Amino acid sequence: MRRCVLSLWILMWILGSAPQLQAQTREECQECHADPELTTETESGEEISLFVPDSVFDASVHADLECIDCHADIVELPHEDTLKAVDCGSCHEDEAEAVAKSVHGMELRARSPDAPACADCHGTHDILPMDNPASRISKANQPETCGRCHSDPDIIARNQIPMVAPVAIYEGSIHGRLTQEREDAATCSDCHRGHLILTPLNPASSIFKLEIPNTCGKCHEAIYEEYRISVHARALQQGAKDAPVCTDCHGEHDILRPENPESPTSGFRVPVEVCSPCHASERLAKKYGLTPARVTTYENSYHGLALRGGKATVANCGSCHGVHAILPSSDPRSPIHRDNLVETCGKCHPNPTENFARGRIHPVGEEAEARVIQMVRWIYVVLIAVVIGFMVLHNFIDFIAKAKRLRLAQHGHG
């Protein structure tokens, strides 16, 4: 890309702009613009500086450019009072094209004052490449650069952006904390891209549901490979929109390490916060032929009860099923396949026998039991309703009969 931009620039220089460059060199501009006192007033009466320090410009990635490579509408000096906006896309075509297709580009075309132009994210005379720690787009600085708008409550409200504190929440996450120290953790553009930023509902977006495993998988390759074969990933591929991707279990801006007790993926929280929202749901059970009783039967098992009692070392859903490569019991690779149960329980129970491992865990037997209990409960309810109903009816008839007799007796006396 860099070479392409450079050769494009050299070509332009040879073809057209060379004579102009000689006519208006940087030195000529700097006769006035190297003056720290040079200012002007905007339409709204605000004073702005027109000082362009050579030291800043020389340190930037564009140090070899002439001023008029960017301020291309200047043909002679002195120049017009009002100049056109700089078109960075004249040299950086690919970037300009990607921005134009993004949510930001749509806002720019609609002339929204809140929309970011190239300079809002990159700067003007002080542009540095991403790998320079002082750059506005370095991994550590992106939260601040994007946050100028995405942490501004007025901009968020005016544009009805669904997520109201993306930056503050991200900064508390494992990625947010690590980007301040390391180059390999995820910053804004790792998940959203720098230019082709789209809403999560757009299928071309890097954060569209089906695309998320690829986005996270760029860095978490081994886990991606495990997840890819899971019942969840395969169901998703076949159109089961409710099956989970990485962010359904981990969150997105608020991802924490599993050993952090605040994380939904920390062992004792997994049954309630990760698996239950889907596996205890009657709606999903019906839709996918699952049984919601898996969760209740777990909760009533020795493991479930011990977990609620605060014993964190006990088995949670993930201890037996795994978390990324979850497979049905019919799959021989699954830790809950009959042949693998001794090994699965053996992680915590020393030398379990086959019988122990195949004993009632949380499944079918107890579900059936639960269903019988449910049925008995219903029979009781109906029986009680009928008995009480008959009693009320009997008493009512009795009362009417008594009342009639009383009235007859009174009539006789009168």
Site for ligand HEC in 111-130 (CB under 6 A): 114-116, 118-122, 124-125, 127, 129-130
The reply to whether 40 sits near ligand HEC by the rule CB under 6 A is: yes
Q: Which of 50/375 has CB closer to ligand HEC?
A: 50
Smallest gap, in angstroms, from Cβ of residue 365 to ligand HEC? 8
State the nearest-atom distance from the C-beta of 204 to ligand HEC, in Å.
13
Residues 338-397 that bind ligand HEC (CB under 6 A): 341, 344-345, 347-349, 356-357, 359, 361-364
213 binds ligand HEC (CB under 6 A): yes
CA-CA distance, 72 to 84, in Å (whole number)?
8
Is 244 among the residues that bind ligand HEC (CB under 6 A)? yes
Measure Cα distances from 342 to 319, 347, 354, 363 in Å.
Answer: 13, 9, 6, 17
Contacts of residue 302, Cβ cutoff 8 Å, sequence gap at least 6: 314
Number of H helices, E strands in the chain: 25, 2
As measured in angstroms, the least distance from the Cβ of 332 to ligand HEC is: 12
| H-helix or E-strand spanning residue 48 | strand 47-49
- String marking each residue 56-85 x if it binds ligand HEC according to CB under 6 A: -x---xx--x-xxxxx--x--xxx-xxx-x
List own/partner pairs for 370-377 with CB under 8 A and 24 or more apart.
370/293, 370/296, 370/297
Interface with ligand HEC, residue 217, by CB under 6 A: yes
Q: How far is the CB of 143 from ligand HEC (least distance, A)?
A: 4
Which of 287, 218, 291, 279 minimizes the C-alpha distance to 249?
Answer: 279
**CA dist 177 → 7, 149, 252, 395 (Å):** 39, 21, 14, 74
Exactly one of 55, 140, 215, 333 binds ligand HEC (CB under 6 A); that residue is 215
Indicate the residue among 144 and 398 with the shorter CB distance to ligand HEC. Answer: 144
For ligand HEC, the binding residue among 101, 140, 220, 285 (CB under 6 A) is 220
Nearer to ligand HEC among residue 37 and residue 408 (C-beta): 37
**3-state helix/strand/coil string of 292-357:** CHHHHHHHCCHHHHHHHCCCCCCCCHHHHHCCCCCCCCCCCCCCCCHHHHHHHHHCCCCCCCHHHH
Smallest gap from residue 246 Cβ to ligand HEC (A)? 3
For residue 359, give the amino acid letter: G
Nearer to ligand HEC, 364 or 376 (CB): 364
Helix ranges, 123-187 (H) = 142-150, 153-158, 166-172, 174-179
Q: Give 196-217 as a DSSP string.
A: ----TTSTTSTTSGGGHHHHHH
Phi, psi of 145 (to 5 degrees): -65, -50
Provide the 8-state DSSP code for 86: P
Bridge pairing between strands 47-49 and 39-41: antiparallel
Instruction: Calculate the dihedral angle through the C-alpha atoms of 144, 106, 158, 85, rounding to the nearest 10 degrees.
Output: 70
Looking at residues 256 to 315 of the shown chain, list those that interact with ligand HEC (rule: CB under 6 A): 257-258, 265, 267, 270-271, 274-275, 277-279, 284, 288, 290, 294-295, 298, 302-303, 306, 311, 313-315
Q: How near is the Cβ of 373 to ligand HEC at its closest, in Å?
A: 18
With CB under 6 A as the contact rule, the residue among 178, 229, 285, 370 that binds ligand HEC is: 178
Q: Choose between 259 and 408: whose C-beta lies nearer to ligand HEC.
A: 259
Of 48, 55, 61, 65, the closest CA to residue 13 belongs to 65
CA dist., res. 145 & res. 151, Å (int): 10
Nearer to ligand HEC, 160 or 410 (CB): 160
Does residue 141 touch ligand HEC according to CB under 6 A? no
Rounded least distance, CB 132 to ligand HEC, Å? 8
Q: Does 137 bind ligand HEC (CB under 6 A)?
A: yes
User: Which residue type sits at 42?
Assistant: T
Give the residue, chosen from 56, 140, 161, 229, that forms a contact with ligand HEC under the rule CB under 6 A: 161
Give the residue with the Cβ less far from ligand HEC, 106 or 397: 106
> Judged by CB under 6 A, does residue 252 bind ligand HEC?
yes
Site membership for ligand HEC, residue 184 (CB under 6 A) = yes
Contact criterion met (CB below 8 Å) for 291 and 284: no
**Distance of alpha carbon 13 from alpha carbon 210, whole angstroms:** 45
Nearer Cβ to ligand HEC, position 313 or 402? Answer: 313
Residue with tokens 């899971």: 230
Based on CB atoms, which residue is closest to ligand HEC, 163 or 403?
163
C-beta of 390: minimal distance to ligand HEC in Å?
44
Site size for ligand HEC (CB under 6 A): 168
